[in-house]
Amino acid sequence: MTASTDLDLINADLMTAGVPNAFGRDAQRGDTLTGEIVAVERRHRRDSTGQPLYWVDRKPSPIETGQPVIDNVLIVQTDTRDHEDDDGQRSLRLDRDVKKALSEAIRAAGEKGIAIGGRIEGFMLAGHAQGGGRIYDGGTYTPPTA
């Protein structure tokens, strides 16, 4: 698959509910993500009501006094289809737990980072950490072929 353009992503967002989160609140232990990285995004994080979040006293807050909370997100094309209009794209927000697992997979592949067209295989929610957070298994990362 070719890389999505910004216009493709904007049109997809306009015409659908957006790219579903691969590991949202309903994610269960053992859920996996496999697919090709087709785009990357930087998003202003929002709370559950849709309000943008800002850093206030080193915590995300809807009070607009700090710097915006920005998330790095990978858009992955999968074979998963949850309904008729599902195009199979899933977002993977690079929070600290995801970054740790994905970085290990990237290093194991001998790479210095991800690339559009790279493939993530078997990235999995392995469980929940004591004290909060999640534990992921980074699976494997395969860089795109030249």
Distance separating alpha carbons of residues 30 and 143, to the nearest angstrom: 24
pLDDT per residue as tens, the chain (146 positions): 445 566 766 665 565 557 889 998 899 999 999 999 999 999 888 888 888 899 999 999 999 888 999 999 999 999 988 888 889 999 999 999 999 999 999 999 999 999 999 999 999 999 999 988 999 999 999 999 87
Distance separating alpha carbons of residues 108 and 82, to the nearest angstrom: 31
CB-based burial of residue 130 (10 Å sphere; 0-12 exposed, 13-18 middle, 19+ buried)?
exposed
Q: Comparing C-alpha atoms, which of 84, 106, 104, 98 is closest to residue 136? A: 98
| Predicted TM-score (pTM) of this structure | 0.82
